Chain A
Amino acid sequence: MKPRIGLAALACTALLVTSCGGDLDAAWKVNSFRILAAPIENLDRVESPAVTDAAPGERVRLRLITADDRDPPRAFQALWVFCSQVTRTGNTFGCAPEGASIQMGADVTYQVPAGLSTSIDTQGRPRVQALAVACTGTLGFDPATMLPSCSGEGAVSWTMTRSILVRVPSDTEPSNHNPEITEVLLYRGGPTTDPVVLDPATPLRVPRCSTDPCLKYGLEVRVRDGSRERNTTLNSQAQTIVSNERLVFGFYSTAGTLDGSFRVDSNEVPDGPIRNTLEGPTTAATARLWFSAQDNRGGVTVTSRTVIFE
């Protein structure tokens, strides 16, 4: 097989195909504490699913949704920094001191200030930039340097950036809503068999891997009709393009093996099934699964299920 490996290496080098990397942790594997998402919900516009943008003066709720390989999950502390006067974006963002505010907790409410004018995003629209830190140890924050710290034995921390789109009177585009995952199906032995709907509250028991090759289970995520909202974008010729949102689906698990972390709904078949495969572990284990759906305008939702491999 050596020549095959050599040719593959040559191909990877020539193409710079990132799929060639084999020894690195995959994104689907939850083997520590991590942040999965932070949905935004407008509290002053009661709609279902929730609106993700807010006009000045309106309040939004932000929740940190985390995943942990430990059972029960570790407790964590969280801190939010909101910035209504962004001076720089990109890999890092800068904030004018007068535009900054701080809140503690994983579930916070923020009121968009009136008179917001200096904050911009890449398309020239106002945004409030947020930064959150989640820490499984003791969380500290130095207001002078605006740098958080996380201490404690074995403490794990992650920092997250998030932005809130601020509606202005000139906006004609309808508000964006979070996508909504309606159900998650599991196929025993592949998608040709009848699926089982995974219940959020009741773990499903299935056989572990005991054959060679292992039996693979199919997973399918379904979203509410209308989750792919119509929206307007510009192409490179500055022409207005009205299309459905494209959703990115994330698959995460604490056990077993998932075939890749992400799926993207196809533009060619936007309502096609969103599927992945899960291979059970060879030993008995409980797999906690998370499924996320994220649109390209900041809307996101996450749901979780449990499968017990016996």
Chain B
Amino acid sequence: MTWSGVALAQIGATTQSDPEAPAAALRPPRLVQFVQADYPPAALAQGVEGSVVLRLSITAEGRVTEAVVLQGVGQGLDEAAVAAALRFTFEPAHRGDVAIPSSIRYRYRFSAAAARAAAAPTHRAILRGVVRARGEDRAIDGATVVITLANGTSQQQVTDAAGAFRFEIDTLGTVDLRIRAEGFDDLRFSETLADRDDVNGTYRLDPRVEAPTTTRAPTDDDGVGEAVIRARRPAREVTRQTLEFREILRMPGTGGDALRAVQNFPGVGRAINGLLIVRGSTPQDTQIFADGTAIPLVYHFGGLSSVISTELLDHIDFYPGNYSARFGRAQGGIVDVGLRSPRRQGFRFVGNINLIDASLFAEGAITRDLSFAVSFRRSYVDAILGAVLGGIEAVTITNLPVYWDYQAVLEYRPGRRDKIRLSMLGSDDSFALVLNRPNDMSPRFSGTFSTGIGFHVGQLLWDHTFSDRVTSRAMFSMGRNSINFGGGEAFGLTLNFWQYNARYEVQYQAARNARMNVGIDISGGPAQIAFNGIRPPTEGQGGGGFSQAPRVATDATSVIYRPGAYVELELTPTPSLRLIPAFRVDYARDTNQVWAIQPRFSFRWEFLRDWFIKGGVGVFNQPPQPQQSSSAPNVFQPSTTTGNPFLAQQRSIQYGLGIERNFSRYVTASVEGFYKDLDSQVVSQASLTGPAYLNTGVGRIYGAEILLRHRPSDRFFGWLAYTISRSERRDAPGLPYRIFQFDQTHILTVIGSYQLGRGWEIGARFRLVSGNPSTPIAGSVFNGDTGTYTQIPGQPFSARNNPFHQLDVRVDKTWRWSRGSLNLYLEVLNVYNNANPEGVQYNYNYTQSQTVTGIPIFPNLGVRVEY
């Protein structure tokens, strides 16, 4: 039982004097961590109350070694008081500057009325966590954690042997943490707490770097240390998966890349060409946000690395379904990437070089309130492919494949109530080659082929705390997304989208157990689409080659305007139950101009201690792609348009129900079932006389996900994720359901990483995934107009490749010194060199075929230096 309302009185201090010590000022001990005693139930029931007077012996370290009852009350209260007092922590008594042992008299008062009144928890939020040494990942015992609440009051605790601390907080809003430990730089961090939040974080301290000179003494405003990837109890979503920093850096098979690590979660299919497949949805159905701004891609070239530096990440939240109403225009999943605040004291540099790319990261303080972070990465793929393809006569590389990305953050904190951040994000992938000889399948498939995809966006973010009840976030971003594909004379696509995103959200703590989030979310801008090629074939039907398919050409600019608004309630009628009804509306001017109404509801209930049941149901709409809703005329058939401007928004109704169990601080397990009912799906039409696209598609996706996870401990982290699912589509009424292109029945991922000591760590990842569906070729017809063969596809996706299985291993060795660390790692992909089937290649007339396999064994050696 926890209770409050106890008056504590420090009665006096007696010290053991040292006769040899010179006379100096005596300062009595001060209680810094009070522990509430358990009120004996029998005494409480009988209304027994009173004060227990104790004599406490306190060491020079501030710990209580003895508690003797000088004046008791009986009925179990004396024992309860002693037990609680032995867990007190004091700032020790001092003689001058020297801490000394002491003993004091302490009155512990029990009030039955107050205890009854406090029978229900009085705290409104919990802030807890573990403090660890960065890099070594060991728990720090005895670190001092000071929090300053929004009302200006402070609390302080000392971490236990496991490095853990826990605050129960009444005042909501922004909480500033400051963590101090001997031999480490201070860490400052901010959390925003809402009612019933349970923030559970891992806070890593940097070993202290002794500066050769100092210009001034540190003050309380010196923010230092490193932000962390923190784990927060799911609040507004049914399922949210988060990663800790060590998991990201050491995860085998991901190259220390945070966003690639997402691919290992349950519900995420094996990526095809680096595309995220979430719960059987097409990759275009999953939105990626960077601090609220939608970005068009998440991975460079086929998933080699992500487009945002891991060093700059604050968190990655992945929602496979039933996500908050603040997210819209997606019927698949959500990846929400948050950039962290740059450090507010000193500077830090990180360099990372491996066989694929190299990156450099820097951050630091410009003034007390102004800090920055910059990151840049460039690939080496051009050098590798240049060496390989240089020997192939049929190909001339004119622009070797290269990718690069950058991020720059400037953050200003004029006060504790405001944070203003200006960010620039950009990414670019480009590649061009010349096929010197026409392809056997299609002679027109020759000439210069190029691809380019990139984005550059500037973002202004303003977090403001009006009071401990009202906070807001305003975001405006503007930039350009561009996609270019050139396929000889047969195909050309240029998409330039000058996109803006504006978002404003207010969080209002209406009552102790009710919180409301209200926001508007607008996206739009002019989009230029120039296209010259074939009309994309119906999914699963194959194209028949560029030489035969109907041709389409257009070059037009349309203005996209897609406003949305949402309101969401977070209700906690009991401490163990959270209900979240929500409502969102979205409009797209480039569609049938009907507001998409999306009610959503989710809940989470701790029905037994550490047992949770969670679920949700909701409507999720997604507008068609700009080229699908384009009203631009087809140059080759001016009476028709390249798209269909009367398309409706696609819709999925998502259902989810699951159960979670926390077995220990480290080990958790969850099982979740899901069902998605899709309708109004956009389907490409084969008819030349009708619209190019119609909303005739429907679909159903159902399955279950299992996650058994061991969060990072001193030595080990890992998990087992298994997903079983089935994704089906029906392209038009009257047709049978068929397997969807991205269906993967079984997805098993097992990951483990173990610290061997002395800076060595070894990890492995094993994946076993069902083969991708494929459409068999039933035969072919010779096309006399072009001189090539046209495939006759069989039943769409009625065949399947053999299963995929692959083992990746990673070994790390880290050296540390006072100013930084050096990490050398070797990551070997596909250790046993399995020839995983990725597709089927046919001869010119489709009478012969052979399997195309994925990457063979590939070692990647890298170095990460931190200073």
Contacts and interface: CB of A to CB of B under 8 A. Distances in A.
Interface stretch (B365-373, B540-548, B599-607, B721-729): B540-548
B635 A236 contact: yes
A130 B781 CA distance: 12
B636 A122 contact: yes
B12 interface: no
B638 to A, nearest CB: 8
B170 interface: no
Contacts of A91: 537, 541-542, 544, 548-549, 686, 790-793
Interface in A117-164: 120, 122-124, 130, 132, 158-163
Interface in B667-694: 686-689
B555 A236 contact: yes
B532 A248 contact: no
Nearest to A8: B388
Contacts of B435: 19
B855 A235 contact: no
A121 to B, nearest CB: 9
Interface in A283-310: 292, 294, 296, 298, 300
A10 B835 CA distance: 12
Nearest to A300: B787
B394 A19 contact: yes
Interface stretch (B116-124, B135-143, B244-252, B436-444): B436-444
**DSSP majority for the A interface?**
mixed
Given A89-B550, A122-B550, A294 B786 contact: yes
A35 interface: yes
Interface in A22-49: 23-27, 34-38
B687 to A, nearest CB: 6
B6 interface: no
Nearest to B642: A236
Given A23-B850, A25-B844, A89-B550, A234 B636 contact: yes
A238 B689 CA distance: 19
Contacts of B793: 91
Given A88-B687, A263-B438, A264-B438, A162 B784 contact: yes
Given A7-B384, A163-B785, A236-B555, A14 B302 contact: yes
Contact of B550 (A90, A259, A264, A296): A90
Given A24-B843, A234-B553, A262 B401 contact: no
B598 interface: no
A9 interface: yes
Given A161-B790, A234-B636, A250-B787, A90 B544 contact: yes
A272 interface: no
B702 to A, nearest CB: 32
A13 B782 contact: no
A159 B779 CA distance: 10
Given A90-B550, A262-B438, A235 B842 contact: no
A160 B555 CA distance: 34
A115 interface: no
A122 B551 contact: yes
Contact of B848 (A25, A234, A235): A25
Contacts of B688: 88-90, 120, 122
B529 to A, nearest CB: 9
A108 interface: no
A35 B688 CA distance: 28
Interface in B380-398: 381, 384-385, 387-389, 392, 394-395
Given A160-B782, A235-B635, A236-B531, A90 B686 contact: yes
Contacts of A8: 388
Given A9-B853, A236-B530, A246 B489 contact: yes
A6 B793 CA distance: 32
Nearest to B440: A27
Contact of A161 (B394, B401, B784, B838): B784
Given A27-B844, A234-B553, A13 B784 contact: no
Query: How many of chain B's residues touch chain A, expressed as a range?
Result: 35 or more
A163 B493 CA distance: 28
B156 interface: no
A292 B784 contact: no
Contacts of B638: 124, 238
B784 A160 contact: yes
Contact of A124 (B554, B636, B852): B636
A261 interface: yes
B531 A37 contact: no
Interface string B547-590: 01111011100000000000000000000000000000000000
A262 B853 contact: no
B785 A10 contact: no
B841 interface: yes
Nearest to A39: B784
Given A19-B392, A89-B550, A298-B785, A263 B848 contact: no
Interface in A245-268: 246, 248, 250, 259-264
A307 to B, nearest CB: 22
A18 interface: yes
A124 B639 contact: yes
Query: How many of chain A's residues touch chain B, expressed as a range?
Result: 35 or more
Interface string B779-823: 001111111001111000000000000000000000000000000
A11 interface: yes
Contacts of B867: none
Contact of B782 (A21, A35, A120): A35
B687 A264 contact: no
B228 interface: no
B398 to A, nearest CB: 13
Interface string B412-441: 000000000000000000010101011111
A120 B447 CA distance: 30
Contacts of B381: 14
A26 B844 contact: yes
Nearest to B447: A264
Contacts of A202: none
B533 to A, nearest CB: 9
A24 B842 contact: yes
B106 interface: no
Interface in B822-862: 838, 841-845, 847-850, 852-858
Contacts of B853: 9, 13
A242 interface: no
Given A25-B843, A120-B688, A19 B395 contact: yes
B689 A26 contact: no
B492 A236 contact: yes
A12 B361 CA distance: 32
A9 B856 contact: yes
Interface in B631-680: 633, 635-639
B144 interface: no
A269 interface: no
A294 B782 CA distance: 14
A20 to B, nearest CB: 8
B15 interface: no
A13 B852 contact: yes
A40 B418 CA distance: 77
A303 to B, nearest CB: 14
A92 interface: yes
Given A18-B441, A25-B843, A237 B555 contact: yes
A132 B548 CA distance: 17
B299 interface: no
A112 to B, nearest CB: 16
A263 to B, nearest CB: 7
Given A13-B852, A37-B784, 8 more contacts: A7-B388, A13-B853, A24-B848, A26-B440, A122-B688, A234-B636, A238-B638, A250-B787
25 contacts: A10-B384, A13-B852, A17-B389, A17-B392, A24-B843, A27-B844, A27-B845, A37-B787, A91-B686, A91-B790, A91-B791, A122-B551, A130-B784, A132-B784, A160-B784, A161-B783, A161-B785, A236-B532, A238-B555, A250-B787, A260-B440, A261-B440, A262-B437, A292-B787, A294-B787
